[in-house]
Copies of this chain bind each other. A is one copy, B any other.
Amino acid sequence: MNLNYIKPHEWKIIEEGFNKEHITASESIFSIGNGAMGQRANFEELYTGETFQGSYIGGIYYPDKTRVGWWKNGYPKYFAKVLNAPNWIGIGVTINGKSLDLSTCKVIDFKRELDMRNGVLSRSFIAEFDDGDIVKVLSTRFLSMDIQEVGAIKYSVTPINFQGEIAFSPYIDAGIMNEDANYDEFFWEILDQKETGDEAYILSKTLKTGFLVCTGMKNELILNEFNIDLEKEVSSSDKSIIYSYKTMVNSGDTFSIVKYGGYTQSMNHPDAELCNVSQRQLIKASELGFDSLLERQDKAWEKIWDTADIMISGDIKAQQAIRFNIFQLNQTYSGSDSRLNIGPKGFTGEKYGGSTYWDTEAYCIPFYMSTKNKNVAKNLLIYRYNQLDKAIENAQKLGFNKGAALYPMVTMNGEECHNEWEITFEEIHRNGAMVYAIYNYVNYTGDVGYIASHGMEVIIAIARFWSQRATFSADKEQYVILGVTGPNEYENNVNNNWYTNYLAKWCMEYAIENIELLKENYPEDYVRIAEKVTLDESEINTWSKVAGQMYFPFSEKYNIYLQQDGFLDKELIPARELPKSERPINQKWSWDRILRSPYIKQADVLQGFYFFENIFDQESLKRHFDFYEPLTVHESSLSPCVHSILAVKIDRIDKAYEMYLRTSRLDLDDYNHEVHEGLHITSMAGTWLSIVQGFGGMRNFNNSLSFDPKIPKNWKSYSFKIIYRDHIIKVFKNHEGCKFYNESDTPVNITVSGKEVTIFNKDLVIL
């Protein structure tokens, strides 16, 4: 079953009617975040039905003990796990002594809305108790993009058919267990609690990693429009602080609580200051007041949307979907902190230990690079630069030496968080993506200085890895790379995965090229780095030899590169001929059957053609697309976007649109039956790419920016903006043609469908 209950709307995500079966899915879909923290859309009040409570703080992790079937040397003993954080959103509600709990009340007119324009989550409903008491409830919640350590909730209750006592019991609770814990251990220790006035604070510490977090709340009570003072009752435990405020309310009157809350944490402040800072932030928020804080929220998001928005006319579900993707990416990562990254589930769940995959380098960097200033992408690169030592250690564990680095498959702190040998040890193409991202960044931004300041060290360490990992085949008289898993994880431990071999060759050549560049243009940096990493000429010669003699599996018969050695031994039956009942194959087939089948989980050879499109000609791309696409089952969220982009390139707009649909509403329509676990954040960047690089045809090679806009039949028009170096360019496309507007103060040269165009500052070009 696809859930498919979200109402279409240009700017909003809307759920209408109360359905217990949608609760955990909606908790994911309506998640909110501000880059520093985030939370699932759990109810503030008690809910005794099935729910997955989750709040997360950027950068806070716990080294959970590894759990595997059969231990292999090189597996990490511990690995970083996304940590479910203390709860500050909770507000118990009692009506004449009865707990408000949507699982037990009769619920009428339930509506949940997430306004993507400003990141405000609201919920309204009428609840009827067994004894006939009826209340109307409205809650509004957001995490401030302006004061990143603060969130605010306004929660109002109106008795409809009675006069009675209403109590709010706002609380903070650090007694939180991870949903995803290997041994059901508790990951937090409580250090201190502080109660003062209408505020409360709990200082807690993660076990082992020793992160300190102060969770705070500050409450205000309002009767109709007026703030009121109420005596609080306190009922705390060793892990939580609960305040309780009650008052008599007349039928039709509205009793509200405004709760400010959030976290301060030791990555950002001295340990001893955490509670003081938290208090200052909450007081600041409260002094501004809920409405002013909300105004600032509107402005912050307006600024984001100004460059990031994509408008699609004529297809409201496509419009809603692309905005949802852009919105989630911006909630997850704001780009201001190079210690953070984009987790595959963002702040919406905790599946998969660790938070950083090669998704960041391959998919997310282009999105952030084009919609934010270049420091955001740079911070993502620096994140990896800062983890280079750990990547070198990781390679050492696997038997590499002399400063060779292998970046982990997934990580939080630079250490490997994955342990299936065929992935952890063998899916090494990820290492190439690290270098590709540097190339991509420098190519797009022109910031060559980054190579000198940071990039070169990473590039050298990775070139070293590839030259050691390749071995000379006396049989083939070429260098081979044995025992790898490519991006297509439906093949394991194969020899000579074309994508991996190609990336390896390219990385070594790119390393040599940049060493030359540094020698010439940044001689001091060259000397500094060569000394630091003890670079010698002979190893550069080795890279050159290994790259130059790299083997690529090729079929004369089909005139295509083979995904790996022996690929043609498979029975090449197109995926469309598989019975529906056997799809998706990863849920229906045993692993060995998947492995010996020709079916491709996600772009593999085609991922290489996407990365290095400038090197392969159009005819070659067509041949490879026609050979591999029919065998591709797209059971990774990262697959359709690449196919969509390439399909546009070879003028298959219908195919591109089909692929676009698969990527853009993956979570809203719950294609993979797993949205309750959280959203697929990183693949959302792929959706953005499908429009900008796909339909928009944006490319950037050799300091030249080009477009080749196409439009799907059933759209009226679409438009997007990109930031390119010092320029902001707005692109509009409809069936008549396209328009380019240069928002910046200097002219910009672009190529549109092969034709060079100069757009003057603040000028519009119609083509």
Q: Interface of A with B (CB < 8 Å)? A: 67-70, 72-74, 397-399, 419-422, 425-426, 471-476, 480, 482-483, 492-496, 557, 565-566, 568-572, 586-593, 595-596
Residues of B within 8 A of A595 (CB): 482-483, 493
B398 near A590 (CB under 8 angstroms)? yes
Copies in the complex: 2
A569 near B74 (CB under 8 angstroms)? no
CB distance from A555 to the nearest CB of B (A): 8
- Can you spell out 14 A-B residue pairs with CB atoms less than 8 angstroms apart? A67-B69, A69-B69, A70-B420, A73-B590, A74-B591, A74-B592, A397-B590, A398-B593, A422-B493, A472-B571, A474-B571, A476-B569, A493-B494, A493-B595
A568 touching B474 in the complex, CB below 8 Å, given contacts A73-B591, A587-B73: yes
Considering the chains assembled together, what is the distance between the CA atoms of A587 and B73 in angstroms? 7
Residues of B within 8 A of A419 (CB): 69
Considering the chains assembled together, what is the distance between the CA atoms of A435 and B591 in angstroms? 25
Considering the chains assembled together, what is the distance between the CA atoms of A578 and B67 in angstroms? 32
A473 near B421 (CB under 8 angstroms)? no
Which residue of chain B has the shortest Cβ distance to A590 in the bound complex? B74
B74 near A571 (CB under 8 angstroms)? no
CB distance from A381 to the nearest CB of B (A): 27
CB distance from A479 to the nearest CB of B (A): 10
A473 near B569 (CB under 8 angstroms)? yes
Question: Out of B476, B565, B588, which one reaches A73, CB within 8 Å?
Answer: B588
Considering the chains assembled together, what is the distance between the CA atoms of A589 and B75 in angstroms? 11
B566 near A495 (CB under 8 angstroms)? yes
Question: Out of B495, B557, B596, which one reaches A569, CB within 8 Å?
Answer: B495
- Can you name 11 extra interface pairs (CB under 8 A) apart from A72-B591, A471-B569? A72-B590, A73-B588, A73-B589, A425-B592, A472-B571, A474-B571, A480-B569, A483-B596, A493-B595, A495-B569, A565-B569
A569 touching B482 in the complex, CB below 8 Å, given contacts A69-B68, A74-B591: yes
Considering the chains assembled together, what is the distance between the CA atoms of A496 and B494 in angstroms? 13
B420 near A69 (CB under 8 angstroms)? yes
For the complex of A and B, the 5 pairs showing the least CB-CB separation, nearest first, are A74-B590, A425-B592, A483-B596, A475-B568, A482-B596
Among A422, A566, A588: residue with most chain B CB under 10 A: A566
Question: Out of B397, B425, B493, B586, which one reaches A493, CB within 8 Å?
Answer: B493
Residues of B within 8 A of A73 (CB): 586-591
CB distance from A51 to the nearest CB of B (A): 24
Residues of B within 8 A of A483 (CB): 592, 595-596
Considering the chains assembled together, what is the distance between the CA atoms of A187 and B205 in angstroms? 38
CB distance from A245 to the nearest CB of B (A): 45
Residues of B within 8 A of A496 (CB): 569
Residues of B within 8 A of A482 (CB): 566, 569-570, 595-596
Residues of B within 8 A of A565 (CB): 565-566, 569
Residues of B within 8 A of A72 (CB): 590-591
Considering the chains assembled together, what is the distance between the CA atoms of A557 and B70 in angstroms? 38
Considering the chains assembled together, what is the distance between the CA atoms of A369 and B588 in angstroms? 43
Residues of B within 8 A of A586 (CB): 73
Question: Out of B399, B568, B572, B592, which one reaches A590, CB within 8 Å?
Answer: B399
